[in-house]
Amino acid sequence: MCGIVGIVRNDAKAVDQVLLSRMCAAIRHRGPDEDGFYVNGPVGLAMRRLSIIDLKGGQQPIHNQDRTAWIVFNGEIYNYLELREELEKLGHVFYTTAQSICVECLLSPSGMKELKNCFSPETELARNHCCMPR
């Protein structure tokens, strides 16, 4: 169990970081091990984590190699070891063994692959409405 919260402002004003922190604190029961934040202008992401895989290196939000894309992720990727191997062959470099790094790389044009997964509704919403090229 983990928890994800976020704010995306349509008026391009900066996200209220105090509000984002309060939102994340309200779901502490969903992930007692740690929290993580990413704020960049009108976008704010936060999450609560229950550590299962990569206990020390799986902090979120998680970013791609050049830190141009960030995600929060809650779900299980059943084939992530195989995906990781394929992505490494494509030239992706990983800084963590967490499953979520595979999602980040898969969202890049060179990494589009099929995930065998159990996505949370929040991840599906973000993937379908915020992250995918239009």
CATH number, domain containing residue 55:
3.60.20.10
pLDDT of amino acid 75: 72
Q: How far is CA 85 from CA 6, 48, 65, 89, 93, in A?
A: 31, 28, 16, 6, 11
pLDDT of amino acid 83: 82
pLDDT band at 20 (very low <50, low <70, confident <90, very high): very high
Considering only 11-15, 33-37, 90-94, 116-120, which range has the smallest mean pLDDT? 116-120
Q: For the chain, how many residues are written?
A: 134
Q: Is this prediction's pTM over 0.85?
A: no
Q: How large is the average pLDDT for residues 94-110?
A: 69
Residue 90 sits in which domain range? 3-131
* Distance (Å, whole) CA 130 – CA 134: 9
Question: Which has the higher per-residue pLDDT, 130 or 97?
Answer: 97
Is the distance from CB of 120 to CB of 74 less than 8 angstroms? yes
54 pLDDT more than 70:
no
Domain tally, the chain: 1
41 pLDDT more than 60:
yes
Is the distance from CB of 81 to CB of 37 less than 8 angstroms? no
Rg (CA), the chain: 15
CB atoms inside a 10 Å sphere around CB 112: 11
pLDDT band at 92 (very low <50, low <70, confident <90, very high): confident
Residues labelled catalytic: 2
